[in-house]
């Protein structure tokens, strides 16, 4: 039976049959206990009637009132009716003839009370009535005790049988669980683990150790989806990087124009003025050399950003990296947006400079887009050591206590990110922008780059308004 559906139907029918059998047995036992309880109520009714007789007996002896004697006779008649009605049950409970003996005792008790009523000063008649009344109460209490013992015995037997049934059910469920764990649950758990890995960005193929037809088909379909997803994700990531590269190129072209203009001006002065002062000539040559190195650094940063290279962490001055990225994005900044940077020059992180620049580029461009024509972008950083309980709220990633880190905060004055979207902003292909304005990969790429550095990144809304991205990177 290599079909998951057939196994589930079989287990369901078996458990249904077991539950029906257990329920039927429990109902039979409960009916028997209910009968015992009903018998107990009859005995309790008899005991109550005898106690009421004794109460009116004592009142009659004390006050000699005709009303007490009449009430005594009424409850005596009630006790007689109960004995006649439940004679069979009482004989079953206390032995054959028990009901008849009780009726005879009751008749003698009633006769003794009538005799005493006629001769109230005869103490012997009073004592005889008291003895007979006491005997009736004692026998009634004995019957009640017997009924309680019978009911307790029935409950004990029901509890014992129920425990036995539960033990059988537990054994069968354990056996069923072992079988399902081996043939169904383990493959499903393996699939769940692979799906969680895919949700976190790891496109790992699924290899199930199962012969179930449904699971085999599901694994094949899952692997096909993974292959297609991986192919398209690579294409989209490449497209996202090219889009970022285009953004960077416009800033680099503007930034590169400054050293080229300085080089051109210095070279023109040297060419047109043959009798230039030697000291000034050396200064111009030094300016040309410095501007050439500056242009080379700009081109090198562009080449590093554009090329596919291995991850190579090195000390990166954070303030310098932020300033360079802001210069490259100068053309993208709206005229009404103010940028405030508060980063100490000595703060240095351990990371891959081009990759970190890509993270900054994506976050800064997103902030510009969110703020629109006017706003303030605040970029600050501080060094510290991760404590056991001081993780920033909303921060996700691989940060661990005890590490020396640098926290980088980028806050804008835009509309912020709705709370229901904050947990998903780093998921691949998830975007809050309008259709055609975002691929949903920018923050996903930033998240992967930060995790590649052993850091973590999170987002929250600021109390004064706007979103705030927080990046924690290992200190150099």
Q: Is 114 exposed, middle or buried (0-12, 13-18, 19+ CB in 10 A)?
A: middle
Angle, alpha carbons 421-422-425 (nearest 5°): 80
pLDDT digits (tens, 9 = 90+) for 232-257: 666 655 555 555 555 555 555 655 66
pLDDT digits (tens, 9 = 90+) for 7-39: 777 777 877 887 888 777 777 777 777 766 666
Predicted local confidence at residue 416, as pLDDT: 86
Domains and CATH numbers, the chain: 4-182 (1.20.120), 207-308 (1.10.287), 310-474 (3.30.565.10)
Q: Is 415 exposed, middle or buried (0-12, 13-18, 19+ CB in 10 A)?
A: middle
pLDDT digits (tens, 9 = 90+) for 133-160: 888 888 877 877 777 777 787 778 778 8
Averaged pLDDT, 454-460:
86
pLDDT digits (tens, 9 = 90+) for 302-354: 565 555 567 778 899 999 999 988 887 787 888 899 999 999 988 999 888 88
- For residue 378, give the nearest of 320, 339, 329 by alpha carbon: 339
Rg, C-alpha atoms of the chain: 47
Categorise residue 353: left if φ over 0, alpha if ψ from -120 to 50, beta otherwise.
alpha
Judged against a pLDDT cut of 50, whether residue 380 lies above it is answered with yes
Taking the whole predicted model, whether its pTM rises above 0.75 is answered as: no
What's the chain's length in residues?
476
> In angstroms, rounded to a whole number, what is the distance separating the alpha carbons of residues 400 and 335?
40
Categorise residue 404: left if φ over 0, alpha if ψ from -120 to 50, beta otherwise.
beta
Burial call 253-265: b when 16+ CB within 10 Å, e when fewer:
eebbeebeebbee
Residue pair 314/299 in contact (Cβ under 8 Å)? The answer is no
Judged against a pLDDT cut of 60, whether residue 437 lies above it is answered with no
């Amino acid at each position: 039976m290599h079909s998951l559906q057939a196994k589930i139907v079989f287990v369901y029918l078996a458990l249904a049959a077991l539950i029906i059998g257990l329920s039927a047995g429990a109902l039979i036992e409960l009916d028997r206990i209910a009968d015992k309880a009903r018998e107990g109520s009859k005995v309790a009714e008899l005991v109550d009637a005898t106690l009421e007789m004794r109460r009116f007996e004592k009142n009659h002896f004390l006050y000699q009132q005709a009303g007490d004697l009449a009430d005594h006779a009424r409850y005596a008649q009630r006790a007689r009716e109960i004995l006649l009605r439940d004679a069979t049950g009482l004989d079953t409970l206390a032995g054959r003839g028990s009901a008849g003996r009780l009726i005879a005792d009751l008749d003698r008790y009633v006769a003794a009370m009538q005799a005493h009523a006629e001769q109230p000063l005869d103490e012997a008649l009073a004592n005889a009535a008291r003895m007979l009344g006491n005997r009736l109460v004692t026998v009634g209490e004995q019957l009640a005790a017997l009924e309680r013992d019978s009911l307790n015995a029935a409950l004990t037997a029901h509890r014992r049988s129920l425990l036995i049934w539960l033990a059988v059910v537990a054994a069968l469920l354990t056996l069923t669980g072992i079988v399902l764990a081996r043939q169904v649950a383990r493959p499903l758990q393996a699939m769940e683990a692979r799906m969680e890995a895919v949700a976190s960005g790891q496109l790992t193929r699924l290899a199930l150790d199962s012969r179930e037809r449904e699971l085999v088909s599901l694994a094949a379909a899952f692997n096909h989806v993974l292959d297609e997803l991986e192919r398209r994700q690579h294409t989209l990531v490449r497209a996202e990087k090219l889009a970022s590269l285009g953004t960077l190129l416009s800033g680099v072209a503007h930034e590169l124009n400054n050293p080229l203009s300085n080089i051109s001006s210095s070279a023109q002065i040297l060419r047109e003025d043959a009798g230039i002062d030697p000291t000034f000539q050396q200064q111009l040559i030094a300016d040309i050399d410095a501007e050439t190195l500056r242009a080379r650094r700009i081109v090198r940063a562009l080449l590093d950003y554009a090329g596919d290279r291995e991850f190579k962490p090195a000390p990166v001055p954070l303030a310098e990296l932020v300033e360079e990225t802001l210069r490259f994005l100068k053309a993208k900044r709206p005229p009404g947006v103010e940028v405030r940077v508060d980063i100490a020059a000595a703060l240095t992180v351990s990371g891959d400079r081009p990759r970190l620049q890509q993270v900054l580029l994506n976050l800064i461009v997103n902030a510009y887009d969110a703020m629109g024509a006017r706003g303030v972008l605040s970029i600050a950083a501080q060094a510290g050591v991760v404590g056991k309980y001081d993780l920033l709220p909303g921060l996700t990633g691989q940060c661990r206590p005890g590490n020396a880190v640098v926290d980088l905060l980028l806050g804008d004055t835009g509309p912020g990110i709705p709370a229901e979207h904050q947990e998903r902003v780093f998921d691949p292909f998830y975007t809050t922008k309008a259709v055609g304005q975002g691929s949903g990969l920018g923050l996903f790429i930033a998240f992967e780059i930060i995790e590649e550095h052993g850091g973590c990144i999170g987002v929250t809304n600021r109390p004064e308004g706007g979103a705030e991205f927080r990046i924690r990177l290992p200190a150099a």
